[in-house]
Structure 1
Amino acid sequence: MKNTKPIYIIGHRNPDTDSICSAIGYAHLKQALGENVVAARAGKVNAETKYALEYFHMQQPLLLSDLYPRVKDVLLDCKIVVKQHDTLRQLGEIMRDHDLRSVPVTDSKGILVGIVTVSDLAKRYFQELGMANLSDMRVRYRDIIAAIDAKVLVDGIESDFIQGDVRIAAGSLKTIKAGIKENDIVLIGDRHDETIIDCVEQGISVLIITGNGRVSADVIEAAEARHMFVLSTPYDTYTTARLINQCVPVRRIMHENPVCFKPMDLLSDIKGTMEETHYRNYPVIENGRLVGLVSRDELTMPERDRVILVDHNERGQAVEGIEEAKIVEVIDHHRLGGIQTSEPIFTHAEPVGCTATIVANMHWQQDVDIPAPVAGLLLSAILSDTVLFKSPTCTPYDKKTAERLAEIAGVDLKEYGMAMLKAGSGIGDMTPMEIAKNDSKEFQMGDYHLLISQISVMDTKEVLGLEPQLIEAMTTICEKEGFDMSLVMVTDILEEATYLLYAGSPKTLIGEAFKKDASGTHVYLPGVMSRKKQIVPPLSEAVKRIKEKE
């Protein structure tokens, strides 16, 4: 089967400008090459990235909070439904014609009101419910007329629903008259006119002549005087009775309040319900409306989402549920973090300052023009990741690429870069927890599981003034999310330095890595601006040295 679902191009959790803009840029390249891709993000857009998107009039990518299989991934189309006022005869025909074992029931507005199964239909007949109770079932006259293919000889009362019981005129006249009451529906075959007229005079509401029997003018005249129906059907009395019994509305036998799911329900969450209820199909609803079905038979092997990772390649940094997806490409500028795939994939990794540098040059290498707005976003990513080329991660290749992108985007590189960095440098109304998780990435270094976040500011005083609250939030992260340490880089763009805040243990890891007194809650690191080049490598080496000393 040909894949119809798009490939998602997505950056890391708690995305920065490079993660968002590279996803958009690479999606443009792939789309230009005819591939079905969608740019996505794994978290909230920060202030800096928002500024870039708004400046170049670009929409935020699709938010994917996780990639766990959901009901929408196995949703079956449901074109066949019945309305609650449809008859059992109509239901039976639908089930037979489409080989169905269950059918959802909706009201006139398309709102799901129940579900009916083959066993429900069979039970109606096994119970041998007599026709005498059809008035309690709210059976409509028009449904009877349609079911028995009747010709209306006399158009009767205006009421929609039958009011009496259904009787078969059999036996002697005395027996017939004794069994008939006012407003009943009477089935009668080949009888003398006086017998038929006697039935009419009992005050019945409908007279049904079976087998296309003869109806005299006297009968017609008597019926018209009493404003009752006279119907003629080609079926014999037995068949007519069976057909009338099928005029019961579906709502009388359906299951009300059926077990339903929603498109965004996790498959792992609904399996237990399926095991408890043992139905074959379950309605899927959104805002009360039926949008499809989910079948227990097709639940085991949903089509996996396909993803392209940009600006990261480590499972701990990837969107939740990445293990349930199929990674088809990686475009990155970081160290290789050991992510595993089931088969060979395309990987493009370069030791440059920004993933957007790689994405921009992939456009040019394949002779794909970059529109001004996309060029502006790729430029924004480079300026952000290299901190206006001040970061030690910046290469001449990044600068050359940025200059070319600035020309395409029609902006002054330095002026725009300063405005963008300034827009993202304040903490605004960010909470201590949001600061502690800003642009965060997970790292597994030996036995230690670390979360390293970064916030770049023009003035560090505002952030450092919240140090006690930040340390508290970072400690909570360690305790509740299973990290050994939480680190936050408070990077001063103008001073080109970083205050590194830390919580958790072992603090000796900080001291060993940066040769500083780590007994407090932060160390000052002049000249440090890059997590990738100036924080992660010293920490990794420190872990090795600590291990050797044990």
Structure 2
Amino acid sequence: MKSTKPIYVIGHRNPDTDSICSAIGYAHLKQALGFNAVPARAGKVNAETKYALDYFHVEQPLLLSDLYPRVKDVTLDCKIVVRQHDTLRHLGEVMRGHDLKSVPVTDSKGILVGIVTVSDLAKRYFQELSMQDLSEMRVRYRDIIAATDSKVLVSGNESDFIHGKIRIAAGSIKMIQDTVEKNDIVLVGDRHDETLIDIVDQGISCLIITGNGRVSADVIEAAEAKHIFVLSTPYDTYTVARLINQCVPIRRIMHPDPVCFKPLDLLSDIKGTMEETNYRNYPVLENGRLVGLVSRDNLMLPERDRVILVDHNERGQAVEGIEEAKILEIIDHHRLGGIQTSEPIFTHAEPVGCTATIVANMHWQNDVDIPASIAGLLLSAILSDTVLFKSPTCTPYDKKTAERLAEIAGVDIQEYGMAMLKAGSGIGDMTPAEIAKNDLKEFQIGDYRVIVSQISVMDPKEVMDLEPQLIEAMQNICDKEGFDLSLVMVTDILQEATYLLFTGSPKTLIGEAFKKDASGTHIYLPGVMSRKKQVIPPLSEAVKRIGKN
């Protein structure tokens, strides 16, 4: 059976413009090829990317904080519910008719108030060995009329609650008079009129003639005079007694305040609760409304989310829970970083300056037209990743692709590119902690876990003035998340250079990689603009040299 779940096209955590725009662009290509692809993101959209999205009037992709299995992935449809004032007979019919083991119970407004199980109904069955005091159960006359399929011979207020007990008129009239009390409901078969009138004179509230017994006009007249219900039912006395016992409202046997879950609860979090409570089914609520059930018996591994990764291929950069998902494809322009899959997948990696370059050309290779808005976003990604073609990662292929996309989008490359970079170049109201995590990527370099963030600015001074606070924020990330080194690239767009801030250890790795004095907290790197090509490779080579010494 073909899966109906969407395929999420998603970039790396702390997404940059390429990660967001390539996800949107590649999802468009997959949709054009007939796939149910949905663009997604693994983090907050930065100012530069927001400018591009707003400029080309494209909505932000769906935010996926993680891919861990959740309650929504195993929730069963729950189209059958009962109301708390429905009778047990109705409940039995619902359970039998739909082969259900449990049913949610709602009030008149549809709000969940409980859950009732087949075992609750079974317990009630054993209680039917004795006649119930319906005065305690808030049963109405209309419930009895419906349950016994009675014809109303003398009517009253059918909405009134019953205040007496159920009596069976058996034996002599003296025995009946000694048993029957005021407001009782009396079941009687084929009896003489005098006996029936004597029973009516006892001050009962309802007389039920079973087996379609004969009722004379005198009995009817006596009942009307005393405002007593008279009902005629086709069932025998024993059956009627049982049916009346089934008039008890469901709320009397349901489990009130049941254990409930929410659609976004993690399956790993609810399993402990299920083991402790050991119920068969659990309601799933969203904004207080019932949206389905989770079954303990059917709590199996759900169908895994299907994802396509763009602009990354390393586990440390992927959305949380990627190991729980099924990776279908990887479209990237970075080094291969070690994500493992359970089966062969389609990969497309090229040594170009931007993933969007690959995505755009895959459109043309498949004869799929690129709309102006998508072309504008792909162009934005190329201009961002190559810093308006100034980055050493930029290739002639990137430039040629960008020129073609600019023509489709109807924008001037230099004018639009500078406006977009300027929009993302200021730090605005970003905190030092936010700057330290801007466009953050994690790398495994030798035995060291290293994170490298990057922020591109027109005026690096506004960032460097915050150096003490930045270093503190970077060290906090290392301490809390177990990284060895934290680096922040403050890239000067105009001067085509980078201030590299660093904290953690070993600092000798920084000095060895860039042949600079690394005793402080930053070094200046003229001509360095690319993390991928000018920072990670020197660090990778340096760790090899340190290891040999």
- Where has structure 1 moved over 6 Å in runs of 4 or more? none
Whole-Å separation in 1 of the counterparts to 2:173 and 2:53: 89
Contact 1:132 1:167 in 2 (8 A): no
Whole-Å separation in 1 of the counterparts to 2:203 and 2:157: 12
Contact 1:452 1:488 in 2 (8 A): yes
Q: SS where residue 491 of structure 1 aligns?
A: strand
Q: Specify the alignment match of 2:127 in structure 1.
A: 127
Contact 2:132 2:245 in 1 (8 A): no
Name structure 2 gaps, 5 residues minimum: none
The answer to whether structure 1 residue 328 and structure 2 residue 328 are counterparts is: yes
Query: Deviation of residue 496 (structure 1)?
Result: 0.4
Q: Specify the alignment match of 2:443 in structure 1.
A: 443
Whole-Å separation in 2 of the counterparts to 1:89 and 1:434: 62
Whole-Å separation in 2 of the counterparts to 1:309 and 1:191: 83
Query: Deviation of residue 371 (structure 1)?
Result: 0.6
Whole-Å separation in 2 of the counterparts to 1:47 and 1:21: 13
Write the deviation string for residues 291-328 of structure 1: whole angstroms up to 9, x where unpaired.
11111233232100010000000010000000000100
Query: Deviation of residue 46 (structure 1)?
Result: 0.3
Whole-Å separation in 1 of the counterparts to 2:149 and 2:512: 92
Contact 2:142 2:159 in 1 (8 A): no
Q: Specify the alignment match of 2:318 in structure 1.
A: 318
Q: Specify the alignment match of 1:253 in structure 2.
A: 253
Query: Deviation of residue 225 (structure 1)?
Result: 1.7
Query: Deviation of residue 475 (structure 1)?
Result: 0.3
Q: Specify the alignment match of 1:478 in structure 2.
A: 478
Write the deviation string for residues 223-274 of structure 1: whole angstroms up to 9, x where unpaired.
1222221100000100000000001011000001111111000000011111
Q: Specify the alignment match of 1:209 in structure 2.
A: 209
Contact 2:185 2:204 in 1 (8 A): yes
Contact 1:157 1:228 in 2 (8 A): no
How many pairs were matched up?
A: 549
Whole-Å separation in 1 of the counterparts to 2:95 and 2:158: 32
Query: Deviation of residue 80 (structure 1)?
Result: 1.5
Query: Deviation of residue 159 (structure 1)?
Result: 4.2
Moved more, 326-335 or 272-281: 272-281
Contact 2:142 2:158 in 1 (8 A): no
Q: Specify the alignment match of 2:516 in structure 1.
A: 516
Aligned counterparts, 1:408-447, within 5 A: 408-447=408-447
Whole-Å separation in 2 of the counterparts to 1:115 and 1:159: 25
Q: Specify the alignment match of 2:364 in structure 1.
A: 364
Q: Specify the alignment match of 2:452 in structure 1.
A: 452
Query: Deviation of residue 136 (structure 1)?
Result: 0.5
Moved more, 441-450 or 151-160: 151-160
Query: Deviation of residue 160 (structure 1)?
Result: 2.7
Q: Identical aligned pairs, as a percentage?
A: 85
Name structure 1 gaps, 5 residues minimum: none
TM-score (norm 2): 0.99
Q: Specify the alignment match of 1:145 in structure 2.
A: 145
User: Quick one: which amino acid aligns to residue 536 of structure 1?
Assistant: I
Q: Specify the alignment match of 1:14 in structure 2.
A: 14
Q: SS where residue 114 of structure 2 aligns?
A: strand
User: Quick one: which amino acid aligns to residue 474 of structure 1?
Assistant: M
Query: Deviation of residue 130 (structure 1)?
Result: 3.3
Query: Deviation of residue 128 (structure 1)?
Result: 4.2
Whole-Å separation in 1 of the counterparts to 2:442 and 2:436: 13
Aligned counterparts, 1:385-424, within 5 A: 385-424=385-424
Write the deviation string for residues 328-374 of structure 1: whole angstroms up to 9, x where unpaired.
00000000101111011000000000000000000011111111111
Contact 2:128 2:242 in 1 (8 A): no
Q: Specify the alignment match of 1:383 in structure 2.
A: 383
Q: Specify the alignment match of 1:493 in structure 2.
A: 493
Q: Specify the alignment match of 2:267 in structure 1.
A: 267
Q: Specify the alignment match of 2:75 in structure 1.
A: 75
Q: SS where residue 80 of structure 1 aligns?
A: coil
User: Quick one: which amino acid aligns to residue 22 of structure 2?
Assistant: S
| Cα distance change of structure 1 residues 159 and 3 upon mapping to structure 2, 3 Å threshold | closer
Whole-Å separation in 1 of the counterparts to 2:56 and 2:241: 73
Whole-Å separation in 2 of the counterparts to 1:190 and 1:222: 17
Q: Specify the alignment match of 2:181 in structure 1.
A: 181
Aligned counterparts, 1:21-40, within 5 A: 21-40=21-40
The answer to whether structure 1 residue 104 and structure 2 residue 104 are counterparts is: yes
Q: SS where residue 297 of structure 1 aligns?
A: coil
| Cα distance change of structure 1 residues 148 and 158 upon mapping to structure 2, 3 Å threshold | closer
Q: SS where residue 421 of structure 1 aligns?
A: helix
Write the deviation string for residues 55-96 of structure 1: whole angstroms up to 9, x where unpaired.
111000000000000011111111121111111111111111
User: Quick one: which amino acid aligns to residue 297 of structure 1?
Assistant: D
Query: Deviation of residue 163 (structure 1)?
Result: 1.7
The answer to whether structure 1 residue 238 and structure 2 residue 243 are counterparts is: no
User: CA-atom RMSD, angstroms?
Assistant: 1.0
Moved more, 517-526 or 162-171: 162-171
User: Quick one: which amino acid aligns to residue 62 of structure 1?
Assistant: L
Q: SS where residue 347 of structure 1 aligns?
A: strand
Moved more, 127-136 or 163-172: 127-136
Contact 1:156 1:205 in 2 (8 A): no
Whole-Å separation in 1 of the counterparts to 2:127 and 2:140: 22
Moved more, 273-282 or 358-367: 273-282
Q: SS where residue 153 of structure 1 aligns?
A: strand
Contact 1:185 1:204 in 2 (8 A): yes
Whole-Å separation in 1 of the counterparts to 2:128 and 2:97: 25
Q: Specify the alignment match of 1:292 in structure 2.
A: 292
User: Quick one: which amino acid aligns to residue 83 of structure 1?
Assistant: R
User: Quick one: which amino acid aligns to residue 385 of structure 2?
Assistant: D
User: Quick one: which amino acid aligns to residue 20 of structure 1?
Assistant: I
Write the deviation string for residues 499-533 of structure 1: whole angstroms up to 9, x where unpaired.
00011111001000000000000000000000000
Q: Specify the alignment match of 1:113 in structure 2.
A: 113
Query: Deviation of residue 158 (structure 1)?
Result: 5.2
Query: Deviation of residue 182 (structure 1)?
Result: 1.8
Whole-Å separation in 2 of the counterparts to 1:17 and 1:47: 9
Q: SS where residue 211 of structure 2 aligns?
A: coil
User: Quick one: which amino acid aligns to residue 469 of structure 1?
Assistant: Q
Query: Deviation of residue 123 (structure 1)?
Result: 0.9
User: Quick one: which amino acid aligns to residue 168 of structure 1?
Assistant: I
Contact 1:353 1:382 in 2 (8 A): yes
Whole-Å separation in 2 of the counterparts to 1:53 and 1:109: 42
Q: SS where residue 131 of structure 1 aligns?
A: coil
Whole-Å separation in 2 of the counterparts to 1:495 and 1:482: 34
| Cα distance change of structure 1 residues 325 and 388 upon mapping to structure 2, 3 Å threshold | same
Contact 1:31 1:37 in 2 (8 A): yes
Write the deviation string for residues 433-459 of structure 1: whole angstroms up to 9, x where unpaired.
110000010000110000100000000
User: Quick one: which amino acid aligns to residue 438 of structure 1?
Assistant: N
Contact 1:458 1:494 in 2 (8 A): yes
Moved more, 160-169 or 136-145: 160-169
Q: SS where residue 30 of structure 1 aligns?
A: helix
